[in-house]
Amino acid sequence: MKYTLLPHTDIKVSKICLGTMTWGQQNTEAEGHAQMDYAFDQGVNFFDTAELYPVPAKAETQGETERVIGTWFKKNGNREQVVLASKIAGPAAFTQHIRTGGFKKEEIEDAIHKSLKRLQTDYIDLYQLHWPERNTNYFGSRGYIHDEQEQWEDNFRTVLESLEDFVKQGKIRQVGLSNENPFGVMRYLEEHRNHDLPRMITIQNPYNLLNRLFEGGNAEVSMREGVGLLAYSPLGFGTLSGKYLGGKMPEGSRIKLFPNYNRYIKPQGVKATEKYAALAEANGLSLTHMALAFVNAQPFVTSNIIGATRLDQLKENISSIDVELSQEVLDAINEIHNEIPNPAP
């Protein structure tokens, strides 16, 4: 395994982060434990979860993923050896069963205390805002459309002040963002500098061969300000494993189970995936390894969040850490990207 530091800290994390959002829905507790056992044995010391998980979000399963992690910690007694990240859900139609108040202090307190109880721990190493409160583009939106009727008011400072309180209490160590854009990142950094408030040290956004929109503005912020990307969906919901090519729809796959998660298998995405698959084959690589190694190689990536429903998938994903792409392959990837840029926002 390879390791790096969470930006602006001495917290060492594996370059591969274990994603967990299938546990409690697509995966049982026993399967989640088996995945954590294997990943931990391979040197993965960084786990990412959220109060929302598993997905799709449902009242009857909400929080199950954190509970699975908590029972694993209790069984193994190794909480101190894992860097644990979780998230508070933002306001949305699909989170009304969790809470409705956004990032007010009492809502953050409620979220943290419930997560700590489910996780069977006294602290969370990295606590993230799962998506912005304000109207902006994320979750598959390619561009921003301003809403003149929006009720949101700038509250970046008050959110950081609330988070600071829980840092001082020792319930969270560091804070980060998710599904955020340069405007939000820079406003949080501005408030951090002007009022000596906690610094947002990471941003968890989608990044893969079919969606490189992070490079459009966030990458510069990441490099200049030291806000590390925790890349999620590095295989585009499994699309970049090649398992959907040729019109295949494997039983038990995410898109088979949840057809609304189809943005990576639309015509342009399929066309690009076919080209990437051919490139991988011509260079003796699996498409999975090439796709993950591409993400691992980016200078703004702090950790690559991989997820799997089966152990054989997990093994292949983790082993991508040992794959280094030649400059010729990287150049060929960019040629395909220039031909079919970001087909799946």
Which residue numbers are catalytic?
53
Residue 218: CA atoms inside 13 Å, Cβ hemisphere, count?
25
- Phi-psi group of 121: left, alpha or beta (phi > 0 → left; psi -120 to 50 → alpha; rest → beta): beta
Is residue 278 within 8 Å of residue 324, measured between CB atoms? no
Indicate the length of the chain as a whole number: 345
Fill in the DSSP letter of residue 211: B
- Residues 182 and 200: their CA atoms lie apart, in Å, by 12
Q: Is the peptide bond before 54 cis (omega within 30 degrees of 0)?
A: yes
Is residue 119 within 8 Å of residue 73, measured between CB atoms? yes
Element (H, E) at 228: strand 228-231
